[in-house]
Homo-oligomer: A and B are copies of this chain.
Amino acid sequence: MQLEDLILVSVDDHVVEPPDMFDNHLPDKWKELAPRSVKRADGTDVWVYEGSEIPNIGLNAVAGRPPEEYNVDPTRYEEIRAGCYDIHERVKDMNRNGVLGSMCFPSFVQFCGQLFSRSQDLDVGLQMLRAYNDWHIDEWCGSYPGRFIPLSIPPMWDPQLMADEVHRVAKKGCHAVTFSEDPGALGWPNIFQGHWDPFFAACQDEGTVICLHIGSSSTMLGLKDGAPFDVLITMTPLNSMSAATDLLWSNVLRRFPDLKFALSEGGIGWLPYWLERIDYVYQQHRFWTHQEFGDQLPSQVARDHFTFCFISDRAGVEARHAIGIDNITWECDYPHSDSSWPHSPESVIKQLDGVPDAEINKMTYENAIRTFNYDPFSHIPKDEATVGALRSLQGA
């Protein structure tokens, strides 16, 4: 595989929401209640919603900054690349990086749209959340057909409303939704008690993939007094292992046999260990824990329900067959500090040394297309979707 022939679909990037995002998606009577982007006297940009300030416009939106500054969260739109919040600049940054398609997680509303669940008036919160999703699907993703995989946020405070919203946005072509890797850590019921069933059922009905991004529990493995930040960065991907473990041993996967989860930013290199461990736990302990998977092993159940993704993970690529070649996708993580932008193709190709082309294609785009029901090639011919073709658009 030549670098310029790669086709890259990233299943985990981030959007810093632009100041005008609510302008076109709310009836007039709701507009004045919408979150407003406000520039404070010190030049800092903040969102204001129901009288409260949300301080950072884009936590960790550091693409293009020198690594020495990664710890300073930018606080003004002028400090970050326009590609973080401007759709036209974003597509140019994707072209510069040779990236065909992208799924973008939210920023100021938090991973599961928690901001709206804290609304004083939840009816207002629901209007705002729907406007958010409409902006994301119709305006952000809709401006460049074939370039984005839309991703909705759910009204976490009510599983039936969550189900309704899954159905509503599915009609607009959105088949992915963010959820928490550990809703119990956010103060909601955890996944062991059936609370979320209406939501899970709606996702299963619509073929909507539930995306669990690391950090979507607002907790991090490795958070300790005085611990260097490196501890967090090292351990946080394991939040995905924890989330997958919860789901596997709960009865969610068995009760919703067609439900799919994407573990976002969790890496893949730990999977050979984990898949073996869950089978071992099952075979060694099920006589007293009373788990029952019929004629399947837990590792197969996991492969039937989970999709994983990697940024830089040679150990995982080498173990791709132990993991499941159809379960691996790729992510760019633009504009966060783990991102390889604008050198993603160079970073990816190094990790793919010795991997047959057919397997590369599965990991870099085919699995993403299948999993997320994403259809770029009806908009962009395949030979215009490669790294080489996209980079030539920007003269890179």
Contacts and interface: CB of A to CB of B under 8 A. Distances in A.
Interface residues of A, dominant DSSP: helix
A242 interface: yes
Contact of A246 (B227, B275, B288): B227
Given A233-B289, A280-B312, 8 more contacts: A192-B227, A222-B242, A222-B245, A227-B246, A228-B249, A228-B250, A267-B277, A270-B273
Given A221-B221, A222-B245, A276 B314 contact: yes
A4 interface: no
B242 A235 contact: yes
**Chain A interface bracket (under 10, 10 to 19, 20 to 34, 35 or more):** 35 or more
A189 B28 CA distance: 56
Interface stretch (A6-14, A19-27, A64-72, A131-139): A64-72
A362 to B, nearest CB: 20
A285 B62 CA distance: 12
Interface in A228-264: 228-231, 233-235, 237-238, 241-242, 245-246, 248-250
Interface of A: 66-71, 182, 184, 190, 192-193, 221-222, 224-231, 233-235, 237-238, 241-242, 245-246, 248-250, 267, 269-270, 272-278, 280-282, 284-289, 291, 312-316, 318-319, 322, 337-338
A70 B284 CA distance: 10
A237 B221 CA distance: 14
